[in-house]
Amino acid sequence: METLEEFHDRRERLNEIVLRHANLPIKRFFAVDHDVYEDGALPKRTKELLGLVASTVLRCNDCISYHVGEAVEAGVTREEIVEALGIALVVGGSITIPHLRHALSLLERTDAAAPREG
């Protein structure tokens, strides 16, 4: 299983390929996807937790990896991430358990892991 750093390197490399071939609608979608997670009425940290919950329910491990990394970078605590994953489990049901495992394993292996509360 890859680390967050390995995931980000792979994602960046593959996004470069996509954008090299992208037409205007694809480029616009990528821009919206980036912009929607910036601070607004909701802070970035909250938006990353929302993205993590949605990604877990949708069962997208790449998306989960992305949002775990962004959440950690935004200062989200381990406890907040675990609580958000609990919501994803309730909403998504037991089929999300493998993705919950993925998220928590990734978080556990993250060198710059989210700080603990308290």
Q: Considering the domain boundaries, does residue 59 fall inside one?
A: yes
Q: Considering the domain boundaries, does residue 99 fall inside one?
A: yes
Distances (CA, A) of 75 to 22, 43, 102: 33, 11, 20
SS3 label, residue 118: coil
Q: Please tell me the total count of domains within the chain.
A: 1
Q: Considering the domain boundaries, does residue 117 fall inside one?
A: no
What stretches of the chain show up as alpha helix (H) in DSSP?
A: 4-21, 24-35, 44-58, 61-73, 78-92, 97-109
Q: Considering the domain boundaries, does residue 105 fall inside one?
A: yes
Q: How far apart are CA 111 and CA 51, in angstroms?
A: 22
Dump pLDDT digits (tens) for 64-87: 999 999 999 999 999 999 999 999
Q: Considering the domain boundaries, does residue 115 fall inside one?
A: no
Q: Considering the domain boundaries, does residue 56 fall inside one?
A: yes
Dump pLDDT digits (tens) for 6-57: 999 999 999 999 999 999 999 999 999 999 999 999 999 999 999 999 999 9
Q: Considering the domain boundaries, does residue 98 fall inside one?
A: yes
Residue 111 DSSP class = T
Range of the domain at 99: 4-109
**CATH number of 67's domain:** 1.20.1290.10
Q: Position of tokens 């993205």?
A: 51
Residue 96 DSSP class = G
**For residue 80, what pLDDT is reported?**
96
